[in-house]
Structure 1
Amino acid sequence: MSRLAGGARTALVAPVREAEAVVGPFRRVLDHTASWPVPAHVTVLYPFLTPERITKTVIDGVRACLATVPAFACTFSRVAWFGQDVMWLAPEPDAPFRALTEAVVRRFPECPPYRGAHPDPTPHLTVGSAHLADLAAMRQAAGELEAKVPIRARIDRVRLIAGNDAPGSWRTVGEFTLQTA
């Protein structure tokens, strides 16, 4: 994989296509990752390996461990918060997202979620954060969003993405299909 300038990193994310129409307008104003452009998603593992460590062997390893996890349906019906810094939608059930993270961490134990800062990370779809938005704007958006949920989604793939903090820098490096019945 070619090098990306300026603090490049990678992540594994479960895109939530069904949420994009609802949360997209809020994310463009409230979530700095929307400009990278990272789609509406639930993070499976961040950070993952550095971009220069992404090889065919790594991609094959990710594919192998994710192939053991079945595709699943979930519903985003509740707006939640991490303090006053991050506003997000809670997936129900969240256990399948946890299973995705656990499968990848078992295969790549050198990549604990959030560098180990959150040993049991809460699966969530970020809508806004204090990186870009102020609390008043996020509260207003949360009220509007409450009227637009639930969002029903089918999670059937995970993407390996890479980029840095520059707008437009993130791109898909690999896409992995989950097991279907």
Structure 2
Amino acid sequence: MADDDAQGLQAGQSGLIVRVPEAEPLVRAWRDRLDPSARAGVPAHVTVLFPFLEASRIDDDVCAEIGEVLGRHQSFEACFKRCGRFPGVLYLAPEPDTGFRRLTEAIVARWPEHPPFGGQFDDPVPHLTVAQGQDEAQVEQAETDLLTGLPVVAQVSSVDLLVHDGTRWRERASFPLSPSDV
């Protein structure tokens, strides 16, 4: 998921993400080189919640609950117009980010024992990670290249549940959002 790497991950960890396939043509080559999560099978995405439940706790009832919680939210459009930085991380920033924040808030309200990123950040910022833990020169080169391909407009219509098998992330389920009224 965002801001993690293959080190320290164990089989059975899970997370909820919004795939952003519209960004793949722009970010794929950079993510493959500069983001360990891409090499572990995670597509271009914005994290809704990581870490989530241990995979052994995710049964049909839990999936039904996830679907119910997320199904109360309408699909929405997000535009990635700019790059942003955290320490050691280059990302694309979605605008507006309200829809992503609401999805996270809804899942955390149902599973409060699983705060975003383990409670590491007071206000987790929705983002699409492109590079993490890399040499600054490479990150600057990536950012310069990315800026020439922005904006990327994405339609957010589902949230995917990914589970780590010990080596790679694999999709376990996908949960549709309600169609927007627009």
- TM-score (norm. length: structure 2): 0.91
The share of aligned pairs that are identical, in percent, is 40
Contact 1:113-1:119 within 8 A present in 2 as well: no
Equivalent position of 2:4 in the other structure: none
Mapping 1:58-73, distance limit 5 Å:
58-73=62-77
- 1:11 aligned partner, one-letter code: G
How many positions carry a matched residue from both structures?
A: 172
Question: Any idea what SS the aligned residue of 2:149 has?
Answer: coil
Per-residue CA distance 1:136-177 (angstroms, 9 max, x = gap): 1111111111111100110101000001562xx211111000
Equivalent position of 1:13 in the other structure: 17
Determine if the alignment matches structure 1 residue 43 to structure 2 residue 47.
yes
Question: Any idea what SS the aligned residue of 2:83 has?
Answer: strand
CA distance in 2, matches of 1:35, 1:96: 27
Equivalent position of 2:3 in the other structure: none
What's the offset of the Cα at 1:22? 0.7
Equivalent position of 1:137 in the other structure: 138
2:79 pairs with 72, 75, 80, which one?
Answer: 75
Per-residue CA distance 1:38-79 (angstroms, 9 max, x = gap): 100000000000111111111111000000111000100101
2:103 pairs with 100, 105, 129, which one?
Answer: 100
CA distance in 1, matches of 2:38, 2:166: 11
- 1:29 aligned partner, one-letter code: R
- 1:42 aligned partner, one-letter code: V
CA distance in 2, matches of 1:134, 1:162: 29
Change (3 A) 1:165 1:118: farther
What's the offset of the Cα at 1:8? 3.3
Root mean square deviation of aligned Cα: 1.3
- TM-score (norm. length: structure 1): 0.91
Contact 1:10-1:163 within 8 A present in 2 as well: yes
Q: Which runs of 4+ in 1 moved over 6 A?
A: none
Q: Which runs of 5+ in 2 are unaligned?
A: 1-8
CA distance in 2, matches of 1:59, 1:21: 31
